[in-house]
A and B are shown apart, each in its own frame.
Chain A
Amino acid sequence: MESLNPKLLEVCSRCGACYHICPACLNLEGYDPRAVIKDILAGTYEKWLNHKSIWQCLECHHCLEICFQHYGFENAMTAMRTLTAKKRMTPVQVKRGWDMFIKTGRLGEPAAPARKKLGLPEAAKSGAEDFKKIVKIYQERKESEARRQKTDGK
Chain B
Amino acid sequence: MKDFAIFWGCTIQARFPFLEKSTRMVLEGFNLPYRDLDGFTCCPEKSLVNNIDRGLWVLTAARNISLIDKAGVDLVSPCTGCASNLATVNSELHLSNKEKDKVNSILKEVGLEFKGKNKLRHLVPFFHDEVGIPAIKNKLLKPFNGMRIAIHYGCHMIRPSHALKNDDPLDPQKFDNLIRAMGAESVQYMTKLLCCGQGLDRVDQHENALHFARLKLKELKALKVDAMALCCPSCYLQFDNNQNLMEKEGEKFGVPILYFTELLGLAMGYKPEDLGLDSHRIEATEFLAKWERLHGELSRTTDLNRQLEEGFGIAQP
Contacts and interface: CB of A to CB of B under 8 A. Distances in A.
Given A91-B203, A108-B11, A1 B54 contact: yes
A133 interface: yes
Contact of B106 (A78, A121, A134): A134
Interface in A99-118: 101, 105-111, 114-115, 118
Contacts of A59: 46-47, 155, 199
A113 to B, nearest CB: 10
A105 B24 CA distance: 24
Contact of A106 (B38, B42, B51): B42
Q: Number of contact residues on B: which range applies?
A: 35 or more
A118 B277 CA distance: 12
Q: Summarize B's interface: helix, strand, loop or mixed.
A: helix
Contacts of B64: 127
Nearest to B51: A81
A101 B49 contact: yes
Contacts of B40: 124, 126-127
Interface string A43-84: 000000000100110111110111000100000001001100
A48 to B, nearest CB: 14
10 contacts: A58-B199, A62-B170, A65-B161, A85-B51, A98-B49, A101-B42, A123-B13, A123-B36, A127-B40, A127-B64
Given A70-B162, A138-B59, 18 more contacts: A28-B211, A52-B205, A56-B203, A61-B169, A65-B169, A94-B203, A97-B48, A106-B10, A111-B13, A120-B17, A120-B24, A121-B36, A123-B8, A124-B38, A124-B39, A131-B60, A134-B106, A135-B59
